[in-house]
Every structure is written in structure tokens, then in C-alpha cells.
Amino acid sequence: ISSITSESELRDKIGLYSLGTHTDVLTLTEIGEPGFGFKDGNSYTYTDYKFVDSKGVEYEMKYTNGSLNLVVGNNYTITFDVSEGTFGYEFTIQSIN
């Protein structure tokens, strides 16, 4: 890989999601327990979900203010945001079809 000038370009070249909004078909592998978080002085609830893409790469995604009625093993078309968080990249589910 050559002519890369940013981390975002590198992530795109090697097939990882860069910052921004993405839509992809992913397979649900695990549903986490509900939790609580704080952001910008506000509290919220969330549920973590683990998905795998067609290349076998696993992603942990958070759905805030509720939970989703999903079934492990099923494929879902997911729209999600990728942002930089305290411990690396954070994936937040926006919608699922």
C-alpha cells in the first residue's frame, strides 16, 4: 500500500470502516447485556451487539436508548456511525433493516 496520507485512507484501503456513516450487511454473533453510560453530561442506556462481516472481521456496536429485537445468526442491513472514542473507534447503530 502506497500513497497513503491519512489513517482514514489506510482504513479504507485495507477494508476497515473509517470515520463517518456506513451501511453494510452483517451477521449478528452475540448480544450483550444492557448498560449505562454518560456523554456530554447526560446519561443514557445502551446494548452492545457483536457482528461479523463477509470477511470474518468482528465489530462490536452499541445501540443507545433501548435494545433491538434481533436474532443471533441472522444477517441484518445496518446503518452505523464510526467515531473516535476514548479507547479507539466506536460503532453506534443508527438503524437496522
CB 75 within 8 A of CB 25: yes
**Is a pLDDT exceeding 70 seen at residue 10?**
no
Q: What is the mean pLDDT of residues 65-83?
A: 93
Answering whether pTM is above 0.85, one says: no
**Is a pLDDT exceeding 80 seen at residue 76?**
yes
Per-residue confidence band for 24, with pLDDT thresholds at 50, 70 and 90: very high
50 closest CA partner among 23, 73, 69, 66: 73
pLDDT computed for residue 3 by the predictor: 74
pLDDT computed for residue 12 by the predictor: 61
In this structure, the chain runs to a length of 97
